[in-house]
Amino acid sequence: MKKYTVKLTKEQLQQLGKLGIKPEPKFSYPLFKQWKNDGEIVKFTSMSKGVTVWDGDIRNKVGRTSSNFVHHTDNNKWKDVVYDSERDLWDGQPVECWDITDTHRRYIGFYDAKNKCSFNYAGKRTGLAYDNYKALLSNKYDEWIIEAYKTLEK
């Protein structure tokens, strides 16, 4: 079946809605969603395809890929995770932080994608702003990181 793209006015969309027809929404990928049951965060590359980027506990699922995730549009199962596309970091992601002048040290923290800075030492938003952020990549995070993540201000 061939698909076509048609631009409709607001009035035309309302008329279609009255007929029970809803156009398919377009999404900009990657898209990050958190599973409501266990906190798993998935980086979606299509409606049901993605990779687990946060486990939510210590079961070691980070890096698991699937083409059969529940569709990210199912709001009963998933909730949105803010994503900073400029830095390629998601909200709450464990990161290394440092300023240009920090030649011999790095700080470990959590990225606040809503405010484009780090969470503060107590897990509150709008912590310190650094010149540089780098994702802490791991297929198994230390337990203290997992526990600290759970206390971040949402």
- pLDDT(38) > 90: no
Q: Are 109 and 95 in contact (CB under 8 A)?
A: yes
The CA angle 8-13-15, to the nearest 5 degrees, is: 125
CA nearest to 81, candidates 123, 120, 112, 48:
112
Tell the burial category of 94 from Cβ atoms under 10 Å away from its Cβ (0-12, 13-18, 19+). buried
pTM of the predicted protein model: 0.78
Domain extents in the chain: 24-81, 89-150
Report the distance separating Cα 125 and Cα 152, nearest Å: 8
Per-residue pLDDT tens over the stretch 87-138: 999 999 999 999 999 999 999 999 999 999 999 989 999 888 999 999 987 7
CA nearest to 42, candidates 16, 74, 18:
74
CA nearest to 69, candidates 42, 91, 90, 37:
42
